[in-house]
Structure formats: structure tokens, C-alpha cells
Amino acid sequence: MGEGGELPRKPRILVEPPGPRAKSIIERDHKVLMQSFSRWYPLVVAKAKDYVIYDVDGNAYIDLNSGLGVLNVGSTNPMVVDAAKRQLELFTHYSLTDFYYEIAVTLAEKLVEIAPFRGGGRVFFGNSGAEAVEATIKIARYATRRQYIIAFLGGFHGRTMGALSLTASKPVQRKGFSPLLPSIIHVPFPYPYRCPMGSLEPEECGRKVIEYIEEWVFAKLVDPAEVAAVVVEPIQGEGGYIVPPDNFFPLLRRLTEKNGILLAVDEVQSGFCRTGKRFAIEHWGVEPDIVATAKAIAGGLPLSAVIGKENVMTVEPGGHASTFGGNPVSAAAALAAIEFMERERLCERAQRLGELALKRLREAMDSGEANLIGDVRGKGLMIGVELVKDRNTKEPAVKELAEILMRLFKRGYLAIAAGVSTLRIAPPLTIPEDTLMDAVEAIIEEIRRAGR
């Protein structure tokens, strides 16, 4: 891991970013790539190792976002690289949808073993988080022969048309693409800092959301017997790293079981030790029926998996497939990544380091050291720092957050945002403790500077 070796423990900025080579590549990018995505700042990556990212002008940065939650085991993890190389020399592809190969079976067996539910399970492989969500929708509808899906405001599930139909994080993500998938119902998510049901204590907020589903959705809009699944992120990611109250998931599970509705959790960003557990839903002792995973599963290679209970994974042959799903190189990388997580006890490590970072950030908030901090939340190394202009009005500090992210980038720290004005901290789980805490201090310094 990043505890030793020759990697720098601090950023090393040789040329003020973006340097000349970076500017040249960005100019070329703008000419040939569709600019349908938002870049946080002008970083042009040349190479990466563990928790350090190097740009094309020779600067070294500390990675605080893990390539959007993908690099839990660090960049170019040696075990992952070696496993991928070995598989590359055997065969790179032979469509699992039409034939068989053992490494995909072995990976599926491992995923069923670590799934956050008891009993047997089955796996469907895809390439991305959005594809896992698309499969989840089809699996749930097929298994239940029901059509409605309940999703949550603030949730992010991807940008393909089915996944986008569940997404309700930012209007720009949906703008111009309607009509979307029918029979999708969005309900409030229990966001303790900004409870959509009014100024309530966290537990009351969680209870009120469940009551809303029962009293307004089921009693006035759709019979629960027509609802196939509730699809939910255990911790909202793009929506702002929002951790629900502790009573929410037990109440939600009770509601779904009462009505024969499947509970499908989107663990695309929160899975694989990110929150201090293999899967974030485990924090609440609740067993889902379906788990959609991707991002960190294969240490940086494209792969997704839907892990579901046997009685749910019932789509008949020909009903769903993915040519590159379960690619043998990605499968080999995934087995190596999971083995590394277990060997290095990355779940426990994320829990320990997360507690240290959360403690320091909360101290800065409570002491008034960083007045722009309105809320600090998270589990493990999935941490959100919500910035507000005024703690009484909770007006989002959107402009200030953008400035803070840019200044951190100039200093050599790669943090990004979530929600309206939340700074998210999600480094590789291999980051050295002192490097992480130095980064936290840099974040606090820039927040304090922006709040003057």
C-alpha cells in the first residue's frame, strides 16, 4: 500500500497547473470530443501510482477522489496489473453471453460469497454502473411482473435512458432527454441536514419519508401491488454524500417486505470497502434483494455486476445480455482487487481513517475554525463537507466551493464536489494516514480562506 516506498507523501507542483502541455491537450480535446461532461479543473493525467496522480507537465497530486470512486485499491495496483497481464496473454475476449469461461464463474462465486444477503445468489455482468442499473430495472420487472419502480430525489443512477429515468440529482442531467422511462415514481430522500419533510430530527425525517410513501404514493397514486422495486443508494453519492438516518433502511425494508416489493441497492460508488464495509447497506443490518455494483470492483478496469438472490435472477435465456460483460481481463482484475482488499483489510482501514478525518473536520466546523462548513457527514472514506454561506439560512456556498476546489488543485490536491455545495473526500483506501490528514488540513485552510 501507500505506507512506504518512493511515492511522495505530499503534492509536488513544479509548474503552475495547467502547464503548457496540459493546455495543448485540452485545446485538442475541445476540438474532437463531445463536451457533454463537466471537468472540475484542467487536470491532464500522464500516469498514476497508488494515491499519487502525475500530470503531463510533471506535477504530482494527491488523489482525493479515486477517479470518481473507482480506485479503492489505488492506481495501477500491482496485484491488479499482474492479474490483468496474465489474462491478456491467455485470451482477451470470448463473449460470456454465448460461451463459457472459468474466470467469470470464479468471480461470480466470490461475489455471491461476499454479497450482503444470506442464501444463494446469482450474478449478471456488465461494463458500467449505468448498465448495472439498467439490468436491475429489467430483472426486477421480470421477476415480479410488476411495472412501477420507486426511486429517490437526489439519487444518481447513471445517464443511459433507463438509469437516467431513476436519476434525480441535477436537472441538467435530464434536460432535453424526455420522454424518459414510464412508471418511475420519485420520492424524497431523508437528508438530515435539509430534511425535505420540514425541520425535523434525523430519525423523525426518516420515518416521515416512509409515511409519505405509504400515505401519498400507495394511498393516492399507485397500488403497491404494481411496484416491482425500490431502487436506492445506501448513501447518496452525486446527490451530496448524504447519509440517511439510522432508522430509514430498517423501516424501508419492512415496507417493501410487507408489499412484496424488491429492495435494490445501488452500491456503484459505495461498495467494496469505501464506507468501511464491503457494501454500505451492511451498516444498517438490512438485506437487499438486488445489489448493483461497478466502479471499484475491478481496480480501474471496466466491469459491473448485479448480484441478486436466486429467486430474483430469473430472466430467461436471450432476455438480457452484454457482449463485453464479464470480460476475462476485467474479471481477473476484479478477483485480484477483491483479494487485495481482503488481504490488506481495506474495509477496516477505511473505517479507521474515515473516523480520523471526520473527527478533524467536525472540530473545524464546531470550533468556528471554518465557518463555511454547515455539515460534515460520511462513513469510512466516503465523506461529504457541505459548505454554506450562512449556517442559519443554510444558503449553499456554490461559488466558494468552486474556488476552493480550484485552489486545492493548484496546491496539488484533487478533490471534487457533489450535490449543490458539498466537497467530497473519497481517496484511495490505500492513502497513508499522514497524507490524508495533511490533505484534510489543506481543505480546512482553503475553506477558512474562502470564508474570510
**Beta strands 227-232 and 148-152: pairing type?**
parallel
Q: Is residue 72 part of a domain?
A: no
Gap between the Cα atoms of 183 and 327, Å rounded:
33
Residue 2 has pLDDT above 90, yes or no: no
**Average pLDDT of the segment spanning 304-326:** 97
Question: What confidence tens digit (pLDDT) does each residue in 201-244 have?
Answer: 999 999 999 999 999 999 999 999 999 999 999 999 999 999 99
Gap between the Cα atoms of 267 and 282, Å rounded:
11
- Reading the block at residue 225, the C-alpha cell is 401491488
Q: Which one of 312, 343, 374 terminates a domain?
A: 343
Q: Over pLDDT 90: what percentage of the chain?
A: 98
Residue 334 and residue 360 in one domain: no
The pLDDT value given to residue 342: 98
> How confident is the prediction for the chain on average, in pLDDT?
97
**Average pLDDT of the segment spanning 126-150:** 98
The pLDDT value given to residue 452: 75
**184-187 β-sheet, strand order:** 121-126, 304-309, 290-293, 262-266, 227-232, 148-152, 184-187
Q: Is residue 4 part of a domain?
A: no
pLDDT band, residue 5 (cuts 50/70/90): low
Residue 339 and residue 349 in one domain: no
Q: Which one of 304, 324, 343 terminates a domain?
A: 343
Q: Is residue 216 part of a domain?
A: yes
Residue 106 has pLDDT above 90, yes or no: yes
**Average pLDDT of the segment spanning 326-334:** 98
pLDDT band, residue 336 (cuts 50/70/90): very high
Question: What confidence tens digit (pLDDT) does each residue in 403-428 have?
Answer: 999 999 999 999 999 999 999 999 99
**Average pLDDT of the segment spanning 275-289:** 98
**Of residues 336 and 1, more confidently modeled:** 336
Peptide bond before residue 179 is cis, with ω within 30 degrees of 0 = yes
Please count the structural domains in the chain. 2
Gap between the Cα atoms of 260 and 289, Å rounded:
11
pLDDT band, residue 4 (cuts 50/70/90): very low
For 403, the domain range is 20-63+345-450
**Average pLDDT of the segment spanning 137-155:** 98
The pLDDT value given to residue 374: 98
pTM assigned to the model: 0.96
The pLDDT value given to residue 103: 98
Residue 338 and residue 351 in one domain: no
Question: What confidence tens digit (pLDDT) does each residue in 39-97 have?
Answer: 999 999 999 999 999 999 999 999 999 999 999 999 999 999 999 999 999 999 999 99
CA 211, 312, 243 angle in degrees (round to 5)?
A: 40
Residue 396 and residue 293 in one domain: no
**Average pLDDT of the segment spanning 347-366:** 98
Residue 50 and residue 119 in one domain: no
